[in-house]
């Protein structure tokens, strides 16, 4: 490797030979995507050697700095916050005291898994629904008591058997543990909602049929 001062990064020299850390190609593509996101953040498009067009980024809601900075600070320093949260249901509580525990990315949105002091339960809160943030004085509560965060479950799905065989095979291709025509996903209990929502709402646009069927007895 040799350093290029004009690009402020190292480049492969003529005798460079790659030695892969992992053989997982999907993980490598995720790494390249991460490089592109970093390049976007730094506003340096040449920072990444392989450009990836991230269409999902165009659909993410904008998050104001004055809200996100104190949330990230509270995560780092284990502090509590008073937030105003945009309700969806009429009886939903608007103002909450929370202890932020984990940053989550699901459904192309950022969430925080937090302990809500107001209802004395753990909740996933969508960052784009937080309207205001202020410091709170309550003692911070960790996620140690969050059963749904620490408990893992196995979800099982199969392709819709009313779909053509080649479509069913395509749905399963590339997934680990799908040798018997069943897709098994082991995840945190908190993640199960997002996985179920993603797969069970997926529809074949040409036939108007669901792509996946949840196997009875699965979580």
pLDDT in tens, 12-55: 787 777 666 667 788 888 888 888 888 888 888 777 778 888 89
Which residue, among 197, 189, 60, 81, has the nearest Cα to 133 in the 3D structure? 81
Contact 100, 112 (CB under 8 A): yes
**Residue ranges per domain, the chain?**
26-59, 65-142, 151-214
User: Helix (H, G, I), strand (E, B), or coil: what is residue 43?
Assistant: coil
**Both tokens assigned to 164:** 């053509």
Interval 104-124: pLDDT, tens:
999 999 999 999 999 999 999
Question: Cβ contacts of residue 25 below 8 Å, gap of 6+?
Answer: none
Helix, coil or strand: residue 144: helix
User: Would you say 75 and 81 are in contact if contact means Cβ atoms under 8 Å apart?
Assistant: no
For tokens 């995840």, the residue is: 187
> How far, CA to CA in Å, does 188 sit from each of 9, 147, 195, 205?
38, 10, 10, 30
Residue-wise pLDDT for 15-27, tens only, equals 777 666 667 788 8
Average pLDDT, the chain: 90
Q: What is the CATH number of domain 65-142?
A: 2.30.30
pLDDT digits (tens, 9 = 90+) for 59-113: 988 999 999 999 999 999 999 999 999 988 887 889 999 999 999 999 999 999 9
Q: Which residues contact 46 (CB under 8 A, 6 or more apart)?
A: 7, 39
User: pTM of the full predicted structure?
Assistant: 0.81
Rounded Cα gap, residues 35 and 27, in angstroms: 12
Pull the structure tokens for residue 30: 């995720």
What does the alpha-carbon distance between residue 195 and residue 204 come to, in Å, rounded to a whole number? Answer: 18
The pLDDT value recorded for residue 26 is 82
Which range has the worst mean pLDDT, 41-45, 146-150, 160-164? 41-45
**What is the number of helices (H) and of strands (E) in the chain?**
5, 12
């Amino acid at each position: 490797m040799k350093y290029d001062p004009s690009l402020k990064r190292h480049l492969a020299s003529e005798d460079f030979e790659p030695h892969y850390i992992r053989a997982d190609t999907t993980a490598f593509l995720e790494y390249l995507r991460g490089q592109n996101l970093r390049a976007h953040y730094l506003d340096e498009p040449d920072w990444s050697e392989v450009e990836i067009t991230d269409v999902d980024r165009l659909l993410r809601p904008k998050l104001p700095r004055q809200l996100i900075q104190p949330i990230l600070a509270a995560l780092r320093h284990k502090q509590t916050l008073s937030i105003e949260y945009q309700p969806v249901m009429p009886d939903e509580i608007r103002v909450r005291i929370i202890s932020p525990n984990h940053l989550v990315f699901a459904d192309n949105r950022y969430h925080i898994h937090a302990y809500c002091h107001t209802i004395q339960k753990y909740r996933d809160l969508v960052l784009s629904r937080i309207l205001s943030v202020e410091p709170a004085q309550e003692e911070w509560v960790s996620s140690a008591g969050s059963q749904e965060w620490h408990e893992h479950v196995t979800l099982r799905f199969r392709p819709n058997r009313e779909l053509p065989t080649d479509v069913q095979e395509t749905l399963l291709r590339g997934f680990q543990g799908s040798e018997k025509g069943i897709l098994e996903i082991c995840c945190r209990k908190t993640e199960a909602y997002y996985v179920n929502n993603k797969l069970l709402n997926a529809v074949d646009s040409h036939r108007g049929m669901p792509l996946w069927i949840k196997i009875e007895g699965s979580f």
